[in-house]
Amino acid sequence: MKLGELLAGLALRRIVGSADVEVAGLCYDSRQAKPGYVFFSTARDKQRGRANIEDAFKRGARVVVADEVEDAATRPAMTFVECERPRLLMGAVASRFYNAPSRRLELVGVTGTAGKTTTTYILASIFEAAGLPAGVIGTIGIFARGRTLYHGLTTPESIDFESALAEMDREGIRHVAAEVSSMGIAGGRVEELNFRACAFTNLGRDHLNDHGTMEDYFAAKLRLFTDILPRSLSADPIAVVRGDDPYGKRILDATKTHNVSFGLDRALDAHPESFSAGLDGIRATISALGKKIEIHSPLIGELNLLNILGASALSVALGIDAAAVAEGVRRCPGAPGRLEAVPATPGVTVLVDYAHKPDALEAVLKTLRGLCKGRLICVFGCGGDRDRGKRPIMGEIAGRSADLPVLTSDNPRTEDPLEIIAEVEQGLVAAKLSRLADARRKQRGYVVEPDRRSAIKLALEVAEPGDAVIVAGKGHEDYQLVGARVLQFDDRAVVRDIAEQMARRHS
């Protein structure tokens, strides 16, 4: 495809060089540049941007798109495209280059602070149960027909997104469930996508280091329903929204598409008529747009009941049979690292969860508090280079909700782990807990163990039959970010390893 065709009618400042060049591919990472590629320069730092352009040029890139054209005269063999927002232009160009695959697929977007990943996995399972080959796009990666197509951002950059959809299209997949993050919306990554339906799970504190305020964070989410979804070429785009969430109510009031509400309130379009939840799963009778569906799910707790309700409501709204919904929910084991059970000490329930935000941690602990017969032990921490304001909040939540909080390191990144722990500890103190010298004595209090492996080991060693241990914060991640290093660290593998060592000692 010629560059001129890809750019026709799009908002540009100017083109320096020829637009009559053949485009062989697109990239935003200079290391992926090849001969004939268009390179989109998205670096915020000008010096880094220049270095990336130079690298792309050396690797054969033919065209550079940037917010400011510099030194074009020194590279007459290249074409430079100047525009206000390269990422927005990248989305439009990627859609054209890959022939707009989202227009040929039933693309469903799921946004919210918590529950996005699990909801997309439930949706994909329902689609498959209905005989509709499905793909999943989100935090854990992009998956189709048992293959991993991508690992990276929750909502991929538009080139990766469009490329993955095009590959799914070629392989005969027609239904795709995708997580849509606030950063993906604000960054223009989903601007050109054609959504058949979008779902909203809830809104809690997250990404404030990027958005600034909760209102700005909400505004990013809201755009998916008031701006992007209404542009869908589908005859009847659908908004499926949790109606008993205060932000969900605001979305329902603001959205003019076909709205479907879900939640625990019986007045909503999808709700439970009865349910029971234990550590062995969920049993429920739900009503989804007037259809009664018997639910038997291996997933745990009320928070997963809400994810099931949202996925069921969306599926029924798309015309999927109730029997397929029930079968899809039954089959779905959940997403990796989302209240994922890890076998350990006999009689002790050990779960690993991605909860790294206040609302998510509170929901997980509330769920387990209602199901746990013994003590609830929570291993948790907070990441570095992220919203510092949430640290004492999460400490207070753990102190209020767990019998034994074990405060440790998460992904400290470039911050001092001990300084992060000190800020989280303020919340534990606010919850009127004292630091314990010996966690084996069943006193009310908390423990600080900066080494994450040692913290998990301590939790498993003090747990007794009937207790539950939740290792929160990292979920599916198999690494720990410490300074500039990426260390191999998977909470699930660590739990298994420690449990095996304990079993050998006692055998």
Side-chain-side CA neighbours of 265 within 13 Å: the count stands at 12
Residue 441, pLDDT score: 76
Which pLDDT does position 69 carry in this prediction?
A: 87
- CB–CB of 75/57 below 8 Å? yes
pLDDT value, residue 337 = 95
- Sequence-distant (6+) residues with CB within 8 A of 79 are 3, 15, 16, 17, 18, 19, 21, 62, 63, 64
Pairwise CA distance, residues 386 & 251, whole Å: 27
- State how far the Cα of 155 lies from the Cα of 283, in Å rounded to an integer: 32
Which two tokens mark 207? 């990404």
Over the stretch 249-267, which tens digit does the pLDDT of each residue have? 999 999 999 999 999 999 9
Nearest partner of 91 among 139, 15, 26, 17, judged by Cα: 26
pLDDT of residue 494: 98
pLDDT of residue 324: 98
Q: In which element (H, E) is residue 263 found?
A: none
Residue at 166: amino acid letter:
A
Which pLDDT does position 208 carry in this prediction? 56
pLDDT at position 73, please?
65
Helix (H) or strand (E) run with residue 282 in it: strand 281-288
H helices of 59-142, where?
86-97, 116-129
For the chain, domains (ranges, CATH) are 3-87 (3.40.1390.10), 98-331 (3.40.1190.10), 340-506 (3.90.190.20)
**Contact indicator for 475, 352 with CB cutoff of 8 Å:** yes
The CA distance from 120 to 387, in Å, is 26
- Separation of alpha carbons 422 and 444, rounded Å: 19
Estimate the crossing angle of helix 116-129 against helix 301-317, to 10 degrees.
Answer: 50
pLDDT at 244: 96
Tell me what pLDDT residue 189 has: 94
Query: Would you call 422 helix, strand, or coil by DSSP?
Result: helix
Extract the residue ranges of the chain whose pLDDT is less than 70: 73, 205-212
423: Cβ contacts below 8 Å, ≥ 6 apart: 382, 388, 391, 392, 395
Question: What confidence score (pLDDT) does residue 378 get?
Answer: 98
- ∠478-480-486 over CA atoms, to 5°? 95
User: What is the pTM for the complete model shown?
Assistant: 0.93
Q: What is the CA radius of gyration of the chain?
A: 24
Strand 79-82 to 63-66 pairing = parallel
Q: Pick the closest to residue 85 from 64, 111, 67, 59 (CA basis).
A: 67
pLDDT for 224: 98
Burial class of residue 32 (count of CB atoms within 10 Å of its CB; 0-12, 13-18, 19+): middle
pLDDT of residue 97: 98
Which two structure tokens, joined as six digits, stand for 404?
């034994």
Residues 295, 177: Cα–Cα separation, whole Å: 21
By the 10 Å C-beta count (0-12 exposed, 13-18 middle, 19+ buried), 315 is classed as: buried
Are 110 and 177 spatial neighbours (Cβ–Cβ below 8 Å)? yes
